[in-house]
Amino acid sequence: MRGAYLAGIAALSAVAVAAAAGIVYGEATDRWYLGGSLVGVLLIAYAGIVLLLRKAGLIGPRKAER
Amino acid sequence: MSEPRIVGFVCDWSVDLRPLLDGGRLRDLPAVRIIRVPCSGFVRPAWLEEALNRGAAGVFVTGCPYGDCLNREGNFLMRDRIDQLQRRLQRRKIDPARVAMLAYGLHDGRAFVDAVRAFVERVGSLPAPAARPARPAVAQPAGAPEGEGT
Amino acid sequence: MSEPEVRPSRYGRVMTALLRATLRVDVAINRIVPSDYNPLYYTGGLANLFLLVLVLSGIFLFFYYEASLEGAFASVRYLTQTVPYGGLLRGVHRYAADAFLVAILLHLFRNWFTDRYLFSRDNPWISGMILLLFAGLIGFTGYQLVWDERGQVLTALFVRILRSLPGVGPAVADLFLGGPGVSDGTLVRVLFLHIGPASALYLLLWWHYLRLRHPKIWPPAAWVLFCVGLVFLLAGLIPVGAEAIPPAAPAARPTRFALDVFFLWPFWLLNWLPPAGVAVLGAVVFTAGLAIPYLGRRESPQALGVRHAGVAQVIDGNCTGCELCYYDCPYNAIIMVPSPRPGLTKAAANRTLLAVVVESRCVECGICIGACPFEALELPALLERDVLAQVAEAVRA
């Protein structure tokens, strides 16, 4: 199960890197809506990474809730 | 030696006890007696110790799932108090595994009963406790008899 | 303890069914995410997050907005088409507003269905209803500010609703418009009605948090990332300017346009109801909402059982002023005062502080009883000796 989570983290990281490249491209070519959508994709990918890290046990509950 | 008694303090907002109870005890585990409380945070650690001193083999507190306590923090506070109680019990040579904190919500009846069953088995496999300390855990009113069980 | 035989009212049965359904959703969500990431445990925090997004994007929009009949639409068009990422942030602002209201409604319904308004928790409920009202007003004025044909029609319809109020109607309408008809002054007032209440929201939030210790005002990081990301994604995929509603003009005769259901539902109802009817309906719904903590009782006092054991009472003689109850009470219902006289027990004889329960804030949860090591607190209907008697009975061989 842990392997599946780590694979998911790797996949989402790749998506995030691609999105970051796309943001730079969007800024360079003045395609603001493309850049903006990819900012959204990047943040959602980060959210997925945090969730998978939690499910894989690599990060724990918040300090107030430990 | 009579069968081991387990006492459970269950928050009235947490797991739905109506289908599980048969009088004051769990239908599936008759050795477990349930005491209803308004919040898991209402339970004084002294009562848990008193239950053990009076002969209970194990005692647990059940609150709502972490994050969903109706009173917001009761289950976290109780979990911390039980952690501290377990350290105190260790100093007094009582096995800290005899005290447990559980967290189950309204619909978690099955999971709750399974967790209690696992707790009962765990407690049953522990070695019998040493002679009870003479000093009661809770202050007694002046002149009151020591109560049953001593 | 035997079960009370009182049969719950129909309202009680409906609310209990809603409570069970709400918690069943939790069970489903907790299978996918860890329970401390469950967004339904942080609905207030989600609303607060979207409010921050709205404030930040709103400040950006404010820099470019011109509050005059001629300049409003032109400034919005300039922002959307010429300013880099202007149209994107306009979309962020609009979608965050819808998400804000969705989060508020989730918060409202969850706290209603799970009985989190009982006893002294009516105070956050009342402030919450007023927050909802302000949020609705702010959203509506936001649609007016664009001053396209939709904004023009919304203004006319709103004035019609105001005029239908008995007695004060025409005066209030003139106050809103800044005169007998729409003018530059109208948009200035609408801009004030957009930003002033938005700032007042933080003041109302202070009231909303007042009785809570450790209010959960921010969701977990994963949800912060997800929600901000979702708003940006929507703003990028569905640009706001794409609706192509023409600017307002005195001679314009608009007939139909898309409505944001969250903020503009009263105007949708004008399709069927007269303006006075919409005003009455709004007043009735709002008043009913305010009444929920007082008139809505899912369970009778008997059915509540140990959950309604009376407000906590301090046993003055035993209190040592250790402050543990003060730190543990989730509702700030215990305050420490300088002790007017020494306590009775040996431990309490040298105290400097005394705990006092503020009964109007106590929700009868009993957490203070659990915190006190000195037996200086009791719930009147569930005394310590009652609990110990139950323990003794439970352990009896």
C-alpha to C-alpha distance for C320 and C308, rounded to whole angstroms:
27
Residue B17: phi, psi to the nearest 5?
-85, -15
Digit-coded pLDDT (tens) for C343-394:
999 999 999 999 999 999 999 999 999 999 999 999 999 999 999 999 999 8
- Please name the chains neighbouring C, where neighbouring means 3+ C-beta pairs under 8 angstroms: A, B
Place of tokens 């260790």: B90
Nearest to A46 among C91, C214, C225 (CB): C225
Contact A47 C33 (CB under 8 A): no
Distance CA C16, CA C362 (A): 24
Do A47 and C225 count as a contact with CB atoms less than 8 A apart?
A: yes
The model's pTM is: 0.90
Chain A with chain C: Cβ pairs closer than 8 A: 78
Give the other-Cβ count within 10 Å of C358's Cβ: 15
Whether C305 has its CB under 8 Å from any CB of chain B: the answer is yes
Largest CA distance in chain C: 91
Q: Which residues contact C368 (CB under 8 A, 6 or more apart)?
A: C312, C325, C328, C329, C334, C355, C357, C377
Phi first, then psi, for residue B61 (nearest 5°) are -120, 135
pLDDT tens figures, C317-330: 999 999 999 999 99
Cα gap C214→C332, rounded to integer Å: 10
Give SS3 for B60: strand
What is the average pLDDT value for chain B, to the nearest integer? 85
Q: Does B66 touch chain A (CB under 8 A)?
A: yes
Helix and strand numbers (H, E) in chain B are: 3, 6
Q: Is B76 on the interface with A (CB under 8 A)?
A: yes
pLDDT single digits (tens) C255-300: 777 888 889 999 989 889 999 999 999 999 999 999 999 987 888 8
Contact list in C for residue A51 (CB cut-off 8 A) is 33, 37, 222
- Give the span between the Cα atoms of C156 and C151, in whole angstroms: 9
Position with higher pLDDT, C308 vs B134: C308
C347 touches chain B (CB under 8 A): no
Q: How far is A1 from chain B (nearest CA, A)?
A: 22
Task: Give me the residue from B41, B54, B67 closest to C395, CB to CB.
Answer: B54
C121 touches chain B (CB under 8 A): no
A66 and B CB contact within 8 Å: no
Query: What's the pLDDT score for residue B6?
Result: 93
8 A C-beta contact, residue B70 and residue B39: yes
Rounded to whole angstroms, the Cα distance separating C377 from C118 reads 21
pLDDT for C277 equals: 92
Q: How far is CA C47 from CA B73, C56, C228, C231, C293, in A?
A: 21, 14, 12, 13, 22
C214 CB neighbours in chain A (<8 A) are 64
CB B106 within 8 A of CB C20: yes
- Burial letters for C38-50: b for 16+ Cβ neighbours within 10 Å, e otherwise? bbbbbbbbbbbbb
Mean pLDDT of C95-123: 94
Q: Do A36 and C236 touch (CB under 8 A)?
A: yes
Q: Which among A32, A43, A55 has CB closest to C88?
A: A32
Which burial class, exposed, middle or buried, applies to A44 when counting CB atoms under 10 A from its CB (0-12, 13-18, 19+)? buried
What gap in Å lies between CA B41 and CA B79, rounded to an integer? Answer: 9
Contact between A38 and A23 (Cβ < 8 Å): yes
Give me the interface pTM, i.e. the ipTM: 0.94
Contacts of B103 in chain A (CB under 8 A): none
**Residue C248 contacts residue C77 (beta carbons within 8 Å):** no
